[in-house]
Structure 1
Amino acid sequence: MTYPATHAVKHIPWDLPETRTPMAGAEDTRPGLDLTSRSLWRDGRRWIPVTGELHYSRLPRHRWQEALRLMKAGGISVVSTYVFWIHHQERQDREPLFDGDLDVAAFVRLCRDTGLEVIVRIGPWCHGEVRNGGLPDWVAPARSDDPAYLAEVRRWFGHLGRRLGGLCGPGGPIIGIQLENELYDQRDHIVTLKRLARASGLHAPLWTATAWGSADIPVGEVFPLYGGYTDGFWVDTADGWHDSFRTHFHFSHQWDDPGIGKDLAGDKSTGVPGTKHPDFPAATCELGGGMATAYHRRPWPAGEDIAAVALCKLGSGSVWQGYYMYAGGANPRPGLQESHATGYPNDLPVHNYDFHAPIGAHLQTRDSFHLLRNQHAFLAAFGDRLAGMNATIPGALDVHDRTTLRWSLRSDGREGFVFVNTHQPYEPLPAHHGVRFDIELDETRVVFPHRPIDIPSGTFVCWPVHLGVHGVTVNWATLGLLTVLEGDDPVLVLTKAEGVPGHLSLPAGTRVSGHPVFERDGEVILEDLPGSRELLTVETPEGARLRLLVLDAVDARYAWVPGDGRLVISEADIVLMEDGDLAAISTGPATVDILSGDVFERHHINASCAPVPVKVVRTAEATPPPVRPITVPGRASAPDPGTFAAHAARYTITVPTDGLAGERVLLRLDLVGDVATATVGDRTEDLFWDGAPWDIDITPPHGALTVEAQVAIYPLDERTPVWLPEAARKKQTGRSTQILSATVIDYQTHRFPRRRLAPGATVIGMSRRDRSR
């Protein structure tokens, strides 16, 4: 029979046998954790870790626990953190500090207590947009086997070993240690650093190093990890969107990114992508969770940009999803940022390291958090299977091809997943019409869907192919997989993509209740599933039973899998488990719908929706600024403090505290300007403006009747040589400094004890569509 399929591929099996990697049987083994040429293994099953970067020294200690709880709620399983030497020891005549916000051991223990494991990135050269890459000024010569440098490193590692060594062994939370960063031609030095770290009491089953930029690293001593960003500040002001960023919106077998850190690499940069080592699987430590803002170039990646890159990496074969950053923060003291004044090609803000991350510097969640959360729920449910699947990618990589459908197949020859991406920033991809797929597995051919469909521009999805779930085979579906709710009557939760019809196929003879079916070519087809929260039941002739729950695109955006076997749909900012109870953190009224048996229990969060009155008074007008000098080729410098003070507009913003919950309160400013600062009490925040709303922490001290912020905004004019996103340019029109709006964001936690039926809850039928947003 001839199938009129548009896109066909035959599964390509692994070209080499699976082997244990050279480092897997070395000194630092961990029972239950193993690494092969294809994937990581955990307790006898393949495992895809999801790692999120958070810098303990850039976040106040009293916020650590909440940040970690939010990361876990977002699906993070491993926290990675840089250990910036200069944050601990800025002066040679003083011992390193390990108290307060610098108590790295307390942070690691808190990760453990939250149920998260840890990768410590000890450098000693880390980068992270920190002065000297995190090395104290007096440490020189650096980044080599020079005896004087190694003596200083030995002392520093000794301090870390005394504090972290006891957290490294079997049962400890530290499972990985990264050495150095972006070191391209000193493989022997990385080996030396590993020996020094181990001699200091630091050890882990996974030793890692960044491998981008064709880095010559000692593979076998370290696990090479890769990255991929949607955009970056490291290209010049006048440059467009670089090809290295375009690459990550394709499915490909190219893992090296020669663009990351290129402006620091100098003549060590080849500009040519290196090849992934066959002894190690494809893994990432720096998928861009956002992007820092430099003065000369200010990217503002959308949540869809970040989630599309993450999905493309999964479809390309990634077995480790690592995000940089996943939670933002702020530098602990002035002068610790990289800057033109300290010899860097980039000026970074003095304080701000929000990074547009999924969790912002003040623990506010963004669209990327919610879009990635669905991917992480999928990995928690199906990652053990996906990790063993080879990636078959049709065609060759052409980063400028915007007409060919971007898709891939990951399969083990028996079952698999089709990945599709039609999203790309700056240069949008077209919709694709009349799409069908023809997938040839080892013993099965799957052609789907049963009739051609259109895939809109901006879509990024993963669809199952011949997938077995609790004894039921899903031949194919144009529905994403969110999770499986385990239990006596398991539920497969599927999600619709906006604008894509939801079809699903089961083998002939399968009985279905809850939705009409028709049989065709040996399939039972469920057509145009509405995503109306209807529970369907399927039963095979052999007696296997599975329930299906289809969520529409809106419900999928608000879906949570909190880890207690339940499904929650809520527009609250965060849904998580807290001391055995379900909790929701919300900034206004919301509903919390909890699947309980065959129905949803609806709970209402009756938080006030009345806006908090904010008084904004301009106390000084801006004056025309001088032309910003180009001090680094292609890159202007930020205004110095004197110039800023002479030309900035000034505002006093007053917020009453009456009625605020006070757990965490932010002032959100929509403004226009070039550079801004805000002082609240003895704390200063700053901003290089890129069009995004600016959140300032104004959590009131106990007993305060009002909170006051002093805000200064340096003017932006047409001569300012900076690259801004289009959204910022639209706001800028005719303005040099202005506060367009000022609102208060008040976070409050609400708890829902686990009992059935909870007081105050109402029952919602599965097919009702009356959710109030």
Structure 2
Amino acid sequence: MTATSTLRAIRLLDDRPPLIEPAMSNTEDPHERLRLTSRWIEVDGAPTVPVTGELHFSRIPRRRWEEQLRLLVASGLTSVSTYVFWIHHERERGQARFDGALDVAAFLETAERVGIDVILRIGPWCHGEVRNGGHPDWVAAALGDRARTNDPEYLALVRDWFGRIAEQVRPFCGPDRPIVGIQLENELHHQPDHIAALKVIARESGLSAPLWTATAWGGATLPSHDVFPLYSGYADGFWAGQGSTWDDSFRDHFRFTHVWDDPGVGGDFREEGAEIVVRPIDPEFPPSTCELGGGMATAYHRRPIARGQDIAALANVKIGNGSAWQGFYMYAGGVNPEDGLQESLATGYPNDLPRFDYDFQAAFGATGRPGPSLGVLRDHNAFLAAFGPRLADTFSSLPGDAPVDVHDLDSLRWAVRGDGASGFLFVNTHQPHEPLSGSNGVQFRIPFADGELVFPDRAIDVPSGVIGRWPLRIDVAGVRVEWATASVAGIVDGEVPTLVLRAHDGLPARIQLAGRSHALLRGIEVDAAAPLDLAPDDVLVVDGALRFLVVDEERAERLWYLGADLVDSTDAVWRESGDLVVRADREPTTLVWRGEEFAPLVLRTDAQPGSARAMLEELRPVGDAPARYGESMGRSAAPDSGQFDEVAGVWRIALPAPQDRSRGDLIELVVDWEGDVAQLRADGVVIRDRFWDGLTWRIDITDLAPGAELTLHIAPIAAHSVIDLDASVRERVDAAGRLGAAIRVDRVVSSRWTSAL
């Protein structure tokens, strides 16, 4: 930790462009609930900060759509974004399918029933790690380089495709309908006329939405007025070159800055050495994101691990920078609906992706179970739900030494977002790979309009690893918080509302209230005129009007904010028909906040959840792993079918005797394995695959045909394998010399547990 004792000062400067009302959503495609200004998005007549999460309906079994959407709502999302991949629907020209898990109309109907808005990303070129970027093979073969241009033949095909989409989704477009946004194309940097033409075709086809968006990163030039530019930010990326270090474009997202462009995302599709002009934001639209990394895909040559704290830090920094809308990619993972639909070197892409797996280490994994970032994102989203209306019309101010250099690991990274009289101080001392230093002796001077605020009352040491948002002169339920050194999370409705404060590990939590408040701390009257020391599990009641609940970082990641209910659960929880529903494979330990303390929640099920170990029979040992199976563009290639079978070990999986199934049961294989590439085969056919990154592999086998013979095939990995792994995983490989084994397989049945509150 660096030794500093300087009072940190800042100048509060509102340098936002003038407030205007763009034609979009106001005079063009107006909507009853949502409208746009140059500074914020308005929902139901109030400025707010919406939160969107990406889910691909065609990569998720239809039976899971409703539960997954309810879980998105339960985790704090206000909308879901989804691609409509052309290649998923029209493999053969003229034979478009919208049945089963491809039924986009049924998905939209489900979203409307659940109560979540939808951003439809219609491409026609989407990427999403899909073959040809989503173009069917017949489009790619016929058009070649003329695709993604205003070539008349291409536009004619697009018009036909957009017309087919419109036939399905038109009933969900309109002033009171759930489609509130449509994205055109993706990562198309220098063809504004083409994006404008796509919008004309889409609208002529009958598509409409109050928001029309396009990706703006990579120095993109977009058509003025026609599209809302959206930005990105990832903690790491599978697309980086073989052997590359952690790029500055990733480091940049862990510092406070008012530069929104990201030159790194999509860099694998640009020519080496291509100049990228980082452009300022369009003053007609507020700075917003559609792709903050909610996880990360795994390519064959590069397999980064997305950790929850990395994602939380990045999201927190973007709000401190002034983001008006946050979108996460991905928020729910999945699997490709058929074999051969993935991005690959064989189809001209710079990366090999798994044939089926698209778990993305997302907040909800490929089977729908909670992932590594879900807890921290719920905490983040709860803050935006509670304070988004206050944040929306505020400005971000940076201290004089900001933005710090991306390689400066010692300077404290912080910003203030407020209206000049109140706000929040955002602090970040966390980033992956290269930990940031803490700072000693820290106090802040904030020059608010009604008087300077110096806080805390005594200097504090801010350790490494803090992801903070501290309230400054914030009023809640008639109670003013002058400042606190614990992060504000969500608010739980009630006769006396509860404001949750997250205490930071290694940092004393203190709070200063304003005025002559009457305060009870742990049931004992205290002097509220002086700063109060707080500890996890403390309850502070002020003037009988507001209750503060202090939680530690661990509990904060277990909390679910469900309106008037605050639930502590490691299992997924959602609301359905007035009940709380929990998905668990054993009796859940679920607590609910009762105003003074957490109490057990009584849950019931008629199902038979549980976990049983499968028997593994080795049929063939693993062979020797080559350094590379091949390479392209300097990147290692995944083994082809022949190469894989030559070296893969094989295990037969004998599942325990099946149990009676109940409605809503989810049956998974949980596979603990080591190696390079694994395949699960049913009766000899590959049905799932995975590139090893050291994490557990979960596979949804709910729809597996009874009696199918399951075999697990694992190709080995060796110390000389040219694959970029997370440092912790590389250590395991190097220590062993070679890894290739099926360690354990469990069949896990999780069921619905319900409680009527």
TM-score with structure 2 setting the length? 0.94
Identify the residue that residue 550 of structure 1 maps to in structure 2.
550
User: 1:624 corresponds to which letter in structure 2?
Assistant: D
Asked if residue 538 in structure 1 is aligned to residue 542 in structure 2, the reply is: yes
SS in 2 for 1:668: strand
- 1:661 positional shift: 6.6
Does the 8 Å CA contact 2:666/2:750 hold for their aligned counterparts? yes
Q: Which residue of 2 aligns with 1:91?
A: 92
Tell me how far apart the structure 1 counterparts of residues 661 and 422 of structure 2 sit (CA, whole Å): 50
Matches for 1:640-659 after TM superposition, within 5 Å: 640-657=640-657
Per-residue deviation, residues 175-199 of structure 1 (Å, max 9, x unmatched): 0000011111110111110000000
8 Å Cα contact 1:517-1:525 kept in structure 2: no
How far is the alpha carbon of 1:610 from its aligned partner? 8.0
Shift of 1:329: 0.8
Pairs within 5 Å for 1:218-237: 218-237=223-242
Match for residue 747 of structure 1 among 742, 750, 756: 750
Structure possessing the higher relative contact order (Cα contacts under 8 Å, 6 or more residues apart): 2
Alpha-carbon distance change, 8 to 661 in structure 1, aligned in 2, over 3 angstroms: farther
Give the equivalent residue in structure 2 for 1:264.
269
- Partner SS state of residue 145, structure 1: coil
1:580 alignment partner AA: G
Q: Classify 1:296/1:202 alpha carbon distance in 2 versus 1 (closer, same or farther; 3 Å).
A: same
SS at match of 2:739: coil
Q: Secondary structure at the match of 2:495?
A: coil
Size of the aligned set, in residue pairs, is: 739
Give 1:531 shift.
Answer: 2.0
Q: State whether residues 503 and 525 of structure 1, in contact with CA within 8 Å, keep that contact through their aligned partners in structure 2.
A: no
Which aligned pairs between 1:71-150 and structure 2 lie closer than 5 A? 71-92=72-93, 94-139=94-139, 140=143, 141-150=146-155
Are 1:353 and 2:354 an aligned pair?
no
Aligned partners of 1:410 and 1:416 also within 8 Å: yes
2:382–2:491: 8 Å Cα contact kept in structure 1? no
Once the two structures are superposed, what CA deviation does each residue of 1:12-69 show, in whole Å capped at 9, x if it has no partner? 1244331112424342111232111111011221121111111111111112112112
Give the equivalent residue in structure 1 for 2:687.
Answer: 684
Gaps of 5+ in 1: 755-773
Cα distance change on mapping 1:267 and 1:619 into 2, 3 Å: closer
Question: CA offset at residue 403 of structure 1?
Answer: 0.3
Shift of 1:219: 3.0
Write the distance in 2 (CA, Å) between the matches of 1:333 and 1:707.
19
Q: How does 1:260-299 map to 2 (within 5 A)?
A: 260-266=265-271, 269-299=274-304
1:122-521 maps to which residues of 2 (within 5 A)? 122-139=122-139, 140=143, 141-266=146-271, 269-394=274-399, 395-397=401-403, 398-514=405-521
Q: Which amino acid aligns with 2:31?
A: R
User: How far apart, in 1, do the equivalents of 2:658 and 2:205 lie?
Assistant: 53
Task: Give 1:580 deviation, angstroms.
Answer: 0.4
Alpha-carbon offset, residue 599 of structure 1 = 4.3
Give the alignment of 1:757-772 within 5 angstroms.
Answer: none
The answer (yes or no) to whether the contact 1:290–1:301 under 8 Å persists in 2 is: yes
Equivalent residues of 1:73, 1:562 under 8 A apart: yes
Q: Cα deviation per residue 1:146-182 (whole Å; 9 max; x = unaligned)?
A: 1111111111111111111111112111000000111
In the other structure, the counterpart of 2:712 is: 711
Distance in structure 1 (CA, Å) of the matches to 2:245 and 2:57: 34
Q: Deviations over 1:215-235 (max 9, x none)?
A: 001131000000001111111
Change in CA separation of 1:268 and 1:730 when aligned onto 2, cut-off 3 Å: closer
SS in 2 for 1:710: strand
Encode CA deviations 1:443-497: one digit per residue, 9 max, x unaligned: 2322211222222221201110000111111000112222222333222222212
Task: Give the whole-Å Cα distance in 2 for the aligned partners of 1:229 and 1:89.
Answer: 31
Matches within 5 A, 1:480-629: 480-514=487-521, 524-534=529-539, 536-539=540-543, 545-563=545-563, 565-571=564-570, 573-603=571-601, 612-629=612-629
SS in 2 for 1:357: coil
Kindly tell me: are residues 349 and 435 of structure 1, through their superposed partners in 2, closer, same or farther at Cα, counting changes over 3 Å? same
1:521-567 deviation line (CA, Å, top 9, x unaligned): xx723432122253x2212xxxx83222222333222111112x121
Query: Quick one: structure 1 residues 122 and 652, their matched pair in 2 at CA, closer, same or farther if it must change by over 3 Å?
Result: same
CA distance in 2, matches of 1:549, 1:432: 27
Q: Distance in 1 between matches of 2:67 and 2:294?
A: 19
Identify which range, 485-494 or 197-206, moves more after superposition.
485-494
Q: CA deviation at 1:630?
A: 4.7
SS in 2 for 1:127: coil
Deviations 1:503-537 (A, max 9, x none): 11011311112257876xxx723432122253x22
* Cα distance change of structure 1 residues 421 and 532 upon mapping to structure 2, 3 Å threshold: same
* Per-residue deviation, 1:589: 4.1
Query: Is the 1:234–1:263 Cα contact (8 Å) retained in structure 2?
Result: yes
Distance 1:195 1:71 in 2: 32
Deviation of 1:671 (Å): 1.8
Question: Structure 1: which amino acid aligns with 2:637?
Answer: S
Greater alpha carbon shift after TM alignment, 611-620 vs 500-509: 611-620
Sequence identity (%):
45
Shift of 1:744: 4.0
Q: Report whether the alignment pairs 1:673 with 2:679.
A: no
Q: 2: CA distance between counterparts of 1:342 and 1:169? A: 39
SS at match of 1:678: strand
Quick one: structure 1 residues 9 and 628, their matched pair in 2 at CA, closer, same or farther if it must change by over 3 Å? Answer: same
Task: Indicate if the aligned counterparts of 2:413 and 2:427 stay in contact, CA closer than 8 A.
Answer: yes
Tell me how far apart the structure 1 counterparts of residues 337 and 703 of structure 2 sit (CA, whole Å): 21
User: What corresponds to 1:764 in structure 2?
Assistant: none
Q: Distance in 2 between matches of 1:333 and 1:465?
A: 52
Per-residue deviation at 1:707? 7.7
Question: Is it true that 1:54 corresponds to 2:52 in the alignment?
Answer: no
State how far apart, in whole Å, the 2-side matches of 1:743 and 1:5 are.
55
In the TM superposition, residue 281 of structure 1 has moved relative to its aligned partner by 0.8
Distance 1:322 1:43, change over 3 A: same
Conserved in 2, the CA contact under 8 Å of 1:439 and 1:445? Answer: yes
Q: 1:718 to 1:643 in 2, by over 3 A?
A: same
What code does the residue aligned with 1:81 have? T
Residue 269 of structure 1 and its aligned partner are, at CA, apart by 4.5
Find the residue that maps to 1:561 and give its secondary structure.
strand
Tell me by how many angstroms 1:303 deviates. 1.0
Given that 2:675 and 2:741 are in contact with CA atoms closer than 8 Å, whether structure 1 keeps it comes out as yes
The question of whether the paired residues in 2 share the 8 Å contact of 1:468 and 1:474 is answered with: yes
CA offset at residue 594 of structure 1?
1.6
Report the secondary structure of 2:126's partner residue: coil
On the 8 A contact 1:668/1:745 being kept in 2, the answer is: yes
Assess, with a 3 A threshold, how the Cα gap between structure 1 residues 32 and 697 changes in structure 2: closer, same or farther: closer
Check conservation: 2:16, 2:395, Cα contact below 8 A: no
Alignment-derived partner of residue 760 in structure 1: none
Q: Which moved more, 1:348-357 or 1:263-272?
A: 263-272
Q: Conserved in 2, the CA contact under 8 Å of 1:374 and 1:482?
A: yes
